[in-house]
Amino acid sequence: MSIDTVSLVDVAGYLPENIVPADYFAQYADPEDVTSNVMFKAPKFRHHAAVGETVADMAERAVAPILDRQGRNILQDIDILIVHTQLPETPVVGNGGEVAARLGIAPEWLIDLHNGGCAAFVHSMKLARQLLLGTSARSALVVTVQNAAGQIFTQEQVRGKPQAAIPGDGAGAGLLVKSDVSPILDIEARHLPEFAGQMTAVADPPRRYWEAGAGQMHVGFTESKIAKVLGRGNKLVPEVAQAVCKRIGVKSDELDLLITNQPNRAFLRNWRDALQLPVDRHPDTFDDCGNLFAAGMPVTFDRAVDEGRVPAGSVVMFAGFAHAGDFAAAAAVRWGGR
């Protein structure tokens, strides 16, 4: 075992059973709120978490396939647990502790990662990798949960908005260990604080998210803000991926697979064009799952592996950006196989 190398040895995803077609949202669409913007071209389907399905439920179901493959004994070696939840159910602290309790572990490093957004899977990998290399920790479990679709975007005042049809619910998990069997070759993470806070939650009448009021919360989009997010996203993801490619000595068109977050069809097309990759090397789950936010990468990669699209030795690039462009990250992995 190489103690100076960290591997992503397994990835799994979970999608709730409830599949919701685009027609559900179309029936509530407000003619005055219709937009032709590519940001809101709805997917055919998305999954919604069941009523009463918690973050811990979703996390446990995402981790379950890893435990089936690796054995539950691996939980004894989990010294690091990083959990990102799109909509934390427990105020202030988040749901990491509840996830740990559900798994029956008490890791030394228990982190609720509230930022990172749609790129939180790579952000978590970077943190876990550094902790593994810099401490005596043996292995790390990273979990990303998107649970806002069925709870936020089906609200009576929100479900008719163009943005409502885009998100889907799901969860993903990754297991990192000190080894060289499926090595993380390099990671690039960039924070852009000048854009922090530009992805806002709004209501009508206006209020802060913790204040009581009649208006239901949703994402505050304007045409100007949409244009800026599209511009930043189109630029940021290829930039971080190219930075990693340069350091590992692999041209972008030589990548075996590109795994990105899945915000909309326009981003997916523009990213693979910028990196000069064909469609078959950029798995797309958008039409089946919608925008899974931080769960998009692990769910998409898990599906690609299941479909036999990722043979051992493949160089896989994970890349994405968050919110209105305040974070972007990419990680290259030489996949060791499942």
Mind listing the pLDDT tens digit for each residue in 290-326? 999 999 999 999 999 999 999 999 999 999 999 999 9
Q: What is the pLDDT of residues 226-275, one digit of tens each?
A: 899 999 999 999 999 999 999 999 999 999 999 999 999 999 999 999 99
pLDDT at 197: 86
Set out the domains of the chain in order of their start, with CATH numbers.
6-180 (3.40.47.10), 185-193+221-334 (3.40.47.10)
Instruction: Indicate whether 185 pLDDT > 50.
Output: yes
pLDDT given for residue 34 in this prediction: 54
> Beta partners for 332?
186, 317
Is the CB of residue 169 less than 8 Å from the CB of residue 148? Answer: yes
Average confidence score pLDDT of the chain: 95
pLDDT at site 33: 61
Spatial CB neighbours of 204, under 8 Å, sequence gap ≥ 6: 157, 215
Cα–Cα distance measured from residue 316 to residue 334, given in angstroms and rounded to the nearest whole number? 6
- Per-residue pLDDT of 198-223, as tens digits, reads 989 999 999 999 999 999 999 998 88
1: pLDDT strictly greater than 60: no
pLDDT at 261: 98
Cα–Cα distance measured from residue 258 to residue 278, given in angstroms and rounded to the nearest whole number: 10
The neighbouring-strand residues paired with 13 are: 172
Residue 2: its pLDDT value, please? 45
Measured between alpha carbons, how far is 60 from 36 in angstroms, rounded to an integer? 38
pLDDT given at position 274: 98
For the cut 70, the answer to whether the pLDDT of residue 83 exceeds it is yes
- Model confidence band, residue 29 (pLDDT cutoffs 50, 70, 90): confident
Q: What is the pLDDT of residues 139-157, one digit of tens each?
A: 999 999 999 999 999 999 9
Q: What is the 3-state secondary structure (H, E, C) of 254-280?
A: HCCEEEECCCCHHHHHHHHHHCCCCHH
Q: Please give the backbone phi and psi of residue 181, each rounded to the nearest 5 degrees, phi first.
A: -80, -30
pLDDT band for 40, please (50, 70, 90 cuts).
confident
